[in-house]
């Protein structure tokens, strides 16, 4: 009887952790979307707001990295979000586990661990997968206007 009770407590705690983790991931991506909807926001501002995580190697040359790499990715995500007619009702953020359960993922993501990957959808179209580590976005990718994938590792 004690083993069943301990197992039940473990399952309850595990489910609570997953729900809390999903809430953190969804919240940080929602904050990211709200921030980049402004015309120009820098990596420094996103870092100061606790939205992204910059590696040590990128902090030294943050302005150059921001202009050459981040701004084109932000612009591509903004363009892809315009498909949603700027309606939050059309935007959906799913954890990879939720996406797998609803069969809303790409086959190349099937081997990705469930934990920290979140998928941003506009209607039924994937806009960007995000990797969230320690409550901050550490990488993501999207497609530009010509359909080429652009990837940002922070």
Q: What is the pLDDT of residues 3-15, one digit of tens each?
A: 444 444 444 444 4
pLDDT of residue 148: 76
Beta carbons of 112 and 127 less than 8 angstroms apart: no
pLDDT of residue 11: 40
Distance set, CA 38 to CA 70, 75, 91, 138 (Å): 14, 10, 17, 20
pLDDT of residue 131: 86
- The terminus-to-terminus CA distance of the chain in angstroms comes to 48
pLDDT tens digits, one per residue of 80-90: 888 777 666 77
Q: What is the mean pLDDT of each run of 10 residues along the chain (154 residues)?
A: 45 43 81 83 87 70 81 87 73 83 65 71 84 86 77 77
Task: Identify the three-state secondary structure at position 140.
Answer: strand
């Amino acid at each position: 009887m004690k083993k069943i009770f301990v197992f039940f407590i473990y399952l309850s705690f595990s489910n609570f952790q997953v729900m809390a983790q999903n809430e953190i991931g969804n919240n940080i991506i929602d904050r990211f979307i709200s921030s980049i909807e402004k015309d120009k926001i820098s990596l420094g501002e996103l870092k100061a707001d606790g939205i992204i995580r910059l590696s040590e190697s990128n902090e030294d040359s943050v302005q150059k990295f921001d202009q050459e790499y981040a701004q084109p990715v932000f612009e591509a995500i903004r363009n892809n979000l315009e498909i949603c007619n700027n309606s939050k009702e059309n935007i959906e953020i799913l954890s990879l586990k939720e996406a797998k359960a609803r069969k809303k993922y790409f086959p190349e993501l099937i081997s990705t661990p469930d934990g920290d990957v979140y998928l941003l959808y506009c209607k039924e179209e994937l806009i960007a997968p995000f990797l969230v580590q320690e409550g901050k976005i550490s990488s993501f990718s999207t497609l530009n206007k010509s359909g080429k994938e652009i990837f940002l590792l922070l």
